[in-house]
């Protein structure tokens, strides 16, 4: 059974073992649907646990309905943006994957005839590099298939793109980034790769940390 786009998303979020289990349940589902049961997915739930109760299917359960947005309190590391400090936040509707990297800028000098006791280079000065932040995830519309207006996550795309095209720094909120002292970022690169599924759009965003500096030095007389 070939990996689908949905399988790949689950692999990145839950690991390959979870995908293997998911594929097995899909095979079981396909066989059962040929006999007596309706085609209801095992994973992921397309609404919530209240859709199925006492062995019966809630009439409001829609086969074509995708997962609802994940509320902030149910995300492990929720991520949100705001244009101003303490301003209205935009929360990523589905928790993305975050990768951060940084380091030091070091000025090295080679010393001629350094002898046996002096090995390597002289480190004259160094400074901290910016943090590079990679944000990868998906946006999903409310319906799995249908017209563009019905199923494509257009509203989410428009709201996210407002930040991506912003030509100044903006504020970022994530407990993981707060530990690293990151509160402001600028957008360096972003892409929206082709994603299989009418209601799914992947994104890959590269952010760079930003800090406030005062370039004027006050002299004391």
Each residue's pLDDT expressed in tens, for the chain with a length of 221 residues: 556 665 566 555 555 555 555 555 555 555 544 444 344 343 444 444 444 445 555 544 457 787 788 899 999 999 999 999 989 999 999 999 999 999 999 998 887 766 677 778 888 878 889 999 999 999 999 888 888 888 899 999 999 999 999 999 999 999 999 999 999 999 999 999 998 888 999 999 999 999 876 555 666 66
What per-residue confidence (pLDDT) applies to 130? 94
Q: How far is CA 126 from CA 135, 182, 208, in A?
A: 28, 20, 19
CB atoms within 10 A of CB 195: 17
Residue 80 CA, distance from chain mean position: 10
What per-residue confidence (pLDDT) applies to 102? 94
Q: What whole-number distance in Å separates Cα of residue 218 and Cα of residue 221?
A: 10
What per-residue confidence (pLDDT) applies to 189? 97
What per-residue confidence (pLDDT) applies to 29? 53
φ and ψ of 203, to 5 deg: -145, 155
∠ Cα 154 156 157 (to 5°) = 65
SS3 43: coil
User: Quick one: tokens of 161?
Assistant: 């793109």
What's the distance, Cα to Cα, between the start and end of the chain in Å? 78
């Amino acid at each position: 059974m070939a990996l689908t786009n949905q399988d790949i998303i689950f692999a990145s979020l839950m690991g390959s073992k979870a995908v293997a289990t998911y594929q097995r349940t899909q095979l079981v589902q396909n066989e059962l649907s040929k006999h007596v049961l309706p085609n209801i997915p095992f994973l992921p739930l397309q609404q919530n646990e209240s859709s199925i109760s006492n062995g019966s299917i809630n009439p409001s359960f829609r086969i074509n309905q995708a997962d609802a947005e994940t509320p902030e309190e149910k995300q492990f590391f929720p991520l949100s943006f705001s244009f101003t400090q303490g301003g209205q936040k935009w929360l990523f509707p589905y928790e993305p994957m975050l990768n951060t990297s940084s380091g030091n800028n070091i000025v090295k000098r080679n010393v001629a005839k350094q002898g046996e006791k002096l090995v390597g280079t002289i480190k004259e000065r160094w400074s901290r590099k910016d943090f590079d932040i990679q944000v990868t995830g998906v946006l999903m519309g409310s319906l799995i298939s249908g017209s563009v207006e019905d199923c494509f996550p257009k509203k989410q795309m428009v709201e996210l793109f407002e930040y991506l095209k912003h030509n100044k720094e903006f504020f970022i909120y994530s407990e993981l980034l707060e530990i690293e002292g990151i509160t402001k970022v600028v957008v360096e690169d972003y892409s929206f790769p082709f994603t299989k599924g009418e209601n799914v759009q992947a994104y890959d965003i590269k952010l760079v940390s930003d800090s406030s500096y005062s370039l004027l030095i006050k002299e004391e007389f």
